[in-house]
């Protein structure tokens, strides 16, 4: 199975910078780019080969309608978006996402045929107190993962996202194994990716761990040199 690369560009880039990075990844169909919401429609039209993901979707509706400020699945589908990141730690930690909103978002994705990238991961405190596996299993429990034809689960320890602190390879592997054993129907369309402080220096060690089918990269994916190196590593796997 081809390894996948998800570039979460958060709100780091101008539109012109996002276009320049899309030109680097435009030839590859195993890459998913998640630009800022206002850039989605332009990039989806300009780069039809790239799988484009929203960084979030509305939790209050999946439909067109009178929902000021929301971005429902229907709008995303209309502009050709294939994926949506759900439950990213930067949203969970600001209380913008919780179990209920995540479940609602997944149900809208399911009804609207958007493939979710579901983020899970423990806090520093959870890890220090040995709760990391139960926290991650709990975040996944009750989610309709098996109902999706395509789903990506991203293990992203919150203490590693955006901090430059990488878990040990053994720590990554332990949690990834716990996740895959808690989901019965992981198959070719169900990917398990790692995210949190991935860089050109550590990408190879992580992507070659058993059970890791891809990487979710934030900051390093906004730098053309690092992005090219990570792409190179992914393509050789
Ligand atoms: P980072 O972000 O690579 O900058 O740590 C990862 C993420 O937010 O998914």
* Overall average pLDDT of the 205-217 stretch: 95
* Overall average pLDDT of the 176-201 stretch: 86
* Overall average pLDDT of the 123-145 stretch: 95
SS3 content of the chain, % helix, strand, coil (to 5): 40, 15, 45
Q: How many CB atoms lie within 10 A of CB 53?
A: 25
The question of whether 156 is a catalytic residue gets the answer yes
The question of whether 23 is a catalytic residue gets the answer no
d(CA 207, CA 216): 11
- The yes-or-no verdict on residue 1 having pLDDT over 80 is no
Identify the residues whose C-beta falls under 6 Å from ligand 1: 8, 156, 161-162, 195-198, 216-220
Ligand 1 closest atom vs CA 217? 3
Residue 195 has what pLDDT? 98
- The yes-or-no verdict on residue 224 having pLDDT over 90 is yes
Direct distance between the N- and C-terminal alpha carbons of the chain, in angstroms, rounded to an integer: 10
* Overall average pLDDT of the 22-38 stretch: 94
Average pLDDT, the chain: 95
* Overall average pLDDT of the 122-127 stretch: 96
* Overall average pLDDT of the 38-45 stretch: 98
Ligand 1 closest atom vs CA 199? 3
Residue 14 has what pLDDT? 98
- The yes-or-no verdict on residue 149 having pLDDT over 90 is no
């Amino acid at each position: 199975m081809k390894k996948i690369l998800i570039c979460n560009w958060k709100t780091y880039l101008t539109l012109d910078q996002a276009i320049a990075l899309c030109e680097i990844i435009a030839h590859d169909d195993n890459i998913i780019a998640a630009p800022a919401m206002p850039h989605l429609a332009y990039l989806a039209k300009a780069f039809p080969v790239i799988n484009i993901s929203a960084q979030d979707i509305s939790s209050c509706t999946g439909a067109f309608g009178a929902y000021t400020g929301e971005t429902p699945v229907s709008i995303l589908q209309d502009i050709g978006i294939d994926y949506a990141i759900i439950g990213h730690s930067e949203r969970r930690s600001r209380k913008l996402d919780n179990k209920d909103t995540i479940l609602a978002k997944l149900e809208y994705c399911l009804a609207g045929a958007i493939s979710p990238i579901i983020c899970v991961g423990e806090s520093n405190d959870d890890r220090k107190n040995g709760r990391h596996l139960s926290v991650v299993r709990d975040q996944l429990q009750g989610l309709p993962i098996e109902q999706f034809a395509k789903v990506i689960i991203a293990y992203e320890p919150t203490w590693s996202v955006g901090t430059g602190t990488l878990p040990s390879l053994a720590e990554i592997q332990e949690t990834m194994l716990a996740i895959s054993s808690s989901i019965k129907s992981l198959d070719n369309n169900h990917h398990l990716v790692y995210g949190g402080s991935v860089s050109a220096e550590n990408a190879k060690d992580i992507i070659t761990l058993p059970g890791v089918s891809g990487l979710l990269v934030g900051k390093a994916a906004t730098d053309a040199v690092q992005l090219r190196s990570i792409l190179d590593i992914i393509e050789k796997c």
